[in-house]
Structure 1
Amino acid sequence: MDDSGIIIRTGDADDWPAVFELLSFAFHEQGTPEARDSEGSVVEPERTLVVQDGDAIVGHTAAFTRELTVPGAIVPAAHVSLVSVAPTHKRRGLLTRMMHRQLRDIAAAGREPIATLWASETKIYPRFGYGPAARRLHMEIMMREVRPPAGLAPGSADRLRLVEPKDAIAELAKVYERVRPERTGWSSRDDRWWRYVLADLESQREGATSLHGLVYDTPKGPTGYALWRTKDRWNRHGPDSEVQVREVVADDPVAYAALWNFLLTIDLARSATVSFAAVDEPLQYLVDEPRRLGSALSDGLWIRITDLPKALAARSYAAPVDVVLEVTDPLLEQNTGRWRLTAGPDGGATCRPTTDPADLACTVLELGSAYLGATSLAALAAAGTVRELTPGTLRRASVAFGWHRMPNPTEVF
């Protein structure tokens, strides 16, 4: 095949209709005009790359400008998405060319020390240095088989209030922003992103209702909210509806328990599904039959470090550490070398180049995997991808890279 006429260029706003058609075909979706407009509302054309063969757009990738909560900090992170190559142009190296250029552009801009994505196929992105950094918990809850958490206490001044989600963005955002600094794996949401998250397109409901909202009110203001749908079902035994839980965000345990009490006692429903729970989701410790939560794990966020010293210095650490890392990065060569990572009792860190002997050796992928505190360096060492060069260093570094709460990937972007 002659690829001499194929170019990769920065996209522009006029590309979006053709790009949306490409993405809809690649992801086996029946794209609608409302879906095209909704998705397009968050696309930043200047941060897209387009592969063009003659007049046809045959490849695409994008990055969104958002922040990500990491252990002890909020950092700018390139949110990579909308990646695809036309089936007529597979196996020609176009995806590799796009991803390499995108990562080099992110690194050269110097604003975002990490990139993050959700992987459609998990075998693809390790080739570009992305490591699996956070898993998510799925739940298929047998509602009649678990005793729900406690609801509102009798005589409480607090109350639950139904809302139309799109009309309550200010209230939802207030709670979300109060909780976000402590929830590793959460992304920032400006008004544009809130409108996108709550777009609620009928074509994407798969027979369920529109999105419902619930706010937990206190005399001092809202401290929690829940978003969910229901899917009507009946069988020979009677009602068998499903509650599809989208988000439960709470600033305190009382609000959290009351929101889940409401969701797990909805009339005519017999099951509830949750797709974005944390591995250490508190609900697991509030019900009497945790096995009936039907929990299962899958991958969530993948992290690629683009500026190693800035990324490692940006997050906090769970314990003091002083370790020399020997890192290999075949794509972003400025990350390759020996780096001394030092963190004190307050968790604050520095990361500087050094000529001292290395204590641990790995590639940039392993550091991305460990970056959010969920993947243990010791586990990676057991897999043979991290090497301990100074005895005793692995244990201390593994503890330091951990965190007191598991990350909670809560939104596919």
Structure 2
Amino acid sequence: MDESVRLRTATEDDRRPLADLLLYAFHERTTDETRELEEMIMEPGRTLVAEDGDTIVGTVAIQTREMTVPGAVLPTAHVTGVSVLPTHRRRGILTAMMRRQLADVAEAGREPIAALYASETAIYPRYGYGPASERVRFDVHSREVKVAGPPAPAGRLRLVRPQQAKAELAAVYERLRVHRVGWSSRPDHWWDFLLKDSESQRDGATELRGVLYETADGPAGYATWRVKDDWNRHGPAADVRVREVVAGDPGVYAELWRFLLSIDLTRSASFHFGAVDEPLQYVVDEPRKLGRSLTDGLFVRIVDLPAALEARRYATPVDAVLEVSDPILEANTGRWRLTGGPDKASCVRTDDAPDLACSITELGAVYLGGTTTAALVASGRVRQLTDNLPTAAFQWHRQPSSIDMF
């Protein structure tokens, strides 16, 4: 790294300059409103800054949250805000910050994995982050599909203002997120951030709107969305921009989508955080009209290899030796015997011959069950050394997903 630049932990006094740096780096307008949004989710004690003289020129940050992994919920370093000013690129600042952050997380010993969304996907595998999930974008011709699905339990839809219904939305989400691999915990300040509903978040659409599906036992699901108005030569053509659809019961899930795809004066709907196995694809009569496209989702980095592999569960029994290389966190390098199944797991060092060999990046890619070891073998990213390849064990009964962009 350039000798004129030093790294340090941020302080409370850094909130405003950090907000300004992030807004500049991610090409967003710098206003009091956008600064307030950035400052709402900052944790200065978990934020590194690169400083050149009196100027902050780079930063990486962590949000302290949990994430659901196969069979467990783990403390997970949610990495965010990775940026360097354009005047200080190509000086090794990003590499120094990413390495320092990983060393700090490993030393603290609280979070066995880290996760992030990649603004540029070529960057993060260099630091051991593997592409662990994908997400489906839906751009729906809503008047050309019909939603079937099972009947919902007795109940009703009730329109709500999301800010005022925060407790009800949070209760539904909290009940379900522990069963959905890739979903993160939402501290109270994160809910405030999600529901702030500032003008800068709307892109010309309406305020955030919400609906609850209520049963005799309480709320069973919810959806939030905006509407972008439009008219053309054929009449009304507004777009429903869906933010979240959260429901555990298949009938409630279908009922929420039936509502969203039939709002008056709208002709299309968009939802950009669907799972690869999103049930919407299987409850409509014309799936082609969903306008599906695939993009990357979460990237996962194994920080403490034995702790991470022991914490999750495995779909089938596994007993395999993994030879792993990690040039940044060398404690992860070596041969590890992984044994386990749906109920428990163990991961210990061994001198036995390996069944497969990979880098820590590939291990992060398979960790949530969204990328298979067989696919990585076929691509040459994993070396298969015996017939004992634990592909089925690492997979899970649902594909990982995430509906939080952090």
Matching of residues 76-225 of structure 1 within 5 Å: 76-149=75-148, 157-225=154-222
| Matching residue of 1:353 | 349
| Matching residue of 1:371 | 367
The superposition leaves residues 146-171 of structure 1 with CA deviations (integer Å, 9 ceiling, x where unpaired) of 11236977xx7410001110111111
Are the counterparts in 2 of residues 151 and 259 from structure 1 also a CA contact under 8 Å? no
| Matching residue of 2:229 | 232
| Matching residue of 1:261 | 258
Matching of residues 261-280 of structure 1 within 5 Å: 261-280=258-277
Q: Specify the code of the residue in structure 2 equivalent to 1:372.
A: L
Q: How many angstroms does 1:191 deviate by? A: 1.2
Please give the alpha-carbon distance, in whole angstroms, between the structure 2 residues aligned to 1:150 and 1:33: 45
Please give the alpha-carbon distance, in whole angstroms, between the structure 1 residues aligned to 2:316 and 2:3: 53
Please give the alpha-carbon distance, in whole angstroms, between the structure 2 residues aligned to 1:352 and 1:122: 32
Q: Are 1:283 and 2:280 counterparts?
A: yes
Which of the numbers 395, 403, 406 marks the counterpart of 1:402? 395
Name the SS for the 2:191 alignment partner.
Answer: helix
Q: How many angstroms does 1:20 deviate by? A: 1.4
The superposition leaves residues 296-353 of structure 1 with CA deviations (integer Å, 9 ceiling, x where unpaired) of 0000100000000000111110000100100000000000001010013x34211111
Name the SS for the 1:166 alignment partner.
Answer: coil
For normalisation by structure 1, the TM-score amounts to: 0.96
Are the counterparts in 2 of residues 319 and 347 from structure 1 also a CA contact under 8 Å? no
| Matching residue of 2:388 | 393
Please give the alpha-carbon distance, in whole angstroms, between the structure 1 residues aligned to 2:259 and 2:159: 11
Name the SS for the 1:23 alignment partner.
Answer: helix
Q: Specify the code of the residue in structure 2 equivalent to 1:120.
A: S
Q: Are 1:309 and 2:306 counterparts?
A: yes
Q: Are 1:8 and 2:13 counterparts?
A: no
Name the SS for the 2:49 alignment partner.
Answer: strand
Are the counterparts in 1 of residues 42 and 63 from structure 2 also a CA contact under 8 Å? yes
Q: Which moved more, 1:18-27 or 1:162-171?
A: 18-27
| Matching residue of 1:65 | 64
Please give the alpha-carbon distance, in whole angstroms, between the structure 1 residues aligned to 2:2 and 2:347: 42
Q: Specify the code of the residue in structure 1 equivalent to 2:166.
A: I
> RMSD of the alignment, in Å?
1.3
- Percent of paired sites with the same residue: 60
For normalisation by structure 2, the TM-score amounts to: 0.98
Q: How many angstroms does 1:18 deviate by? A: 1.2
Please give the alpha-carbon distance, in whole angstroms, between the structure 2 residues aligned to 1:39 and 1:19: 9
Are the counterparts in 1 of residues 2 and 93 from structure 2 also a CA contact under 8 Å? no
Are the counterparts in 1 of residues 150 and 250 from structure 2 also a CA contact under 8 Å? no
Are the counterparts in 2 of residues 152 and 158 from structure 1 also a CA contact under 8 Å? no
Q: Are 1:320 and 2:317 counterparts?
A: yes
Name the SS for the 1:279 alignment partner.
Answer: coil
Please give the alpha-carbon distance, in whole angstroms, between the structure 2 residues aligned to 1:286 and 1:401: 28
Q: How many angstroms does 1:10 deviate by? A: 0.6
Q: Specify the code of the residue in structure 2 equivalent to 1:393.
A: N
Q: Specify the code of the residue in structure 2 equivalent to 1:146.
A: V
CA 1:109–1:269 in structure 2 vs 1: closer, same or farther (change >3 Å)?
same
Gaps of 5+ in 2: none
Are the counterparts in 2 of residues 304 and 365 from structure 1 also a CA contact under 8 Å? yes
Q: Are 1:383 and 2:344 counterparts?
A: no
Please give the alpha-carbon distance, in whole angstroms, between the structure 2 residues aligned to 1:227 and 1:110: 37
Are the counterparts in 1 of residues 76 and 112 from structure 2 also a CA contact under 8 Å? yes
Q: How many angstroms does 1:4 deviate by? A: 2.8
Are the counterparts in 1 of residues 149 and 250 from structure 2 also a CA contact under 8 Å? no
Provide the aligned length of Structure 1 versus Structure 2.
406
Please give the alpha-carbon distance, in whole angstroms, between the structure 2 residues aligned to 1:244 and 1:152: 25
Please give the alpha-carbon distance, in whole angstroms, between the structure 2 residues aligned to 1:313 and 1:354: 15
The superposition leaves residues 358-378 of structure 1 with CA deviations (integer Å, 9 ceiling, x where unpaired) of 111100000100000010000
Q: How many angstroms does 1:286 deviate by? A: 0.5
The superposition leaves residues 163-215 of structure 1 with CA deviations (integer Å, 9 ceiling, x where unpaired) of 11011111111111111111011000121111111111111211000100100
Gaps of 5+ in 1: none
Q: Are 1:335 and 2:328 counterparts?
A: no
Please give the alpha-carbon distance, in whole angstroms, between the structure 2 residues aligned to 1:233 and 1:279: 30
Please give the alpha-carbon distance, in whole angstroms, between the structure 2 residues aligned to 1:300 and 1:359: 29
